């Protein structure tokens, strides 16, 4: 008998916008996978760098939470401050990113365990869902303008924002997997003499 594996994705229930519920279902699946891959990591694993000036897993986990809250505030809630402090208890720059060339692991995150990062990610996702829950489908087409550092303007819509959060999460998840692999392989670690 042939085995059948079903891989199905459905929008999360309880969202006014089925499309937003679909993005959040995808994000929740990525978070579930991230959690599976990070179980058992120690505080030392979370601040390990292959070389000075490179991100750590802890920095990337913190960054994921900060970005999710920051962009939700700016785009969905139209809060230009983007302050994440009230939601996460940390500031927008408390991920240590971008890290300077040759810099050590971001000291604010030293000694933090997996429960610290899980809490940040849970709070960020809970906030994102709360803000999204009652938004109508039409809100996905709402446009907003961001001024770029060079003074030019970029027009985006809310749908792009949801896509970007998913793309951003997945990209950094890949970096976390690579760092985990490098740590396990002993890349960058100095051997005692």
Closest of 35, 54, 52, 25 to residue 177, by C-alpha: 35
Q: What is the mean pLDDT of each run of 10 residues along the chain (193 residues)?
A: 92 96 98 98 97 97 98 92 95 96 95 98 98 96 91 95 97 98 83 42
Structure confidence at residue 189 (pLDDT): 60
Residue-range domains of the chain with CATH: 18-185 (1.20.120.450)
What is the chain's length? 193
Residue 69: how many CB atoms within 10 A of its CB?
26
Structure confidence at residue 66 (pLDDT): 98
Tell me the pTM: 0.92
Q: At what angle do helices 57-71 and 114-132 cross, to 10 degrees?
A: 20
- Whether residue 44 contacts residue 120, with contact meaning beta carbons closer than 8 Å, is answered with no
d(CA 168, CA 165): 5
């Amino acid at each position: 008998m042939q085995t059948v594996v079903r891989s199905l994705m459905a929008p999360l229930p309880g969202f006014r916008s089925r499309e937003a519920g679909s993005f959040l279902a995808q994000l929740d699946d990525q978070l579930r996978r991230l959690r599976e891959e990070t179980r058992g990591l120690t505080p030392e694993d979370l601040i390990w760098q292959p070389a000075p000036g490179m991100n750590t897993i802890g920095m990337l986990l913190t960054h994921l939470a900060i970005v999710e809250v920051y962009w939700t505030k700016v785009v969905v809630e139209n809060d230009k401050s983007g302050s994440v402090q009230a939601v996460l208890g940390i500031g927008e720059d408390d991920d240590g990113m971008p890290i300077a060339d040759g810099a050590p692991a971001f000291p604010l995150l030293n000694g933090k365990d997996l429960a610290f990062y899980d809490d940040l990610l849970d709070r960020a996702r809970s906030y994102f869902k709360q803000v999204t829950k009652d938004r109508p489908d039409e809100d996905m087409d709402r446009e907003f303008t961001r001024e770029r550092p060079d003074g030019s303007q970029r027009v985006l819509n809310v749908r792009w924002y949801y896509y970007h959060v998913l793309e951003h999460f997945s990209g950094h998840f890949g970096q976390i997997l690579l760092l985990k692999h490098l740590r396990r392989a002993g890349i960058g670690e100095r051997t005692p003499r």
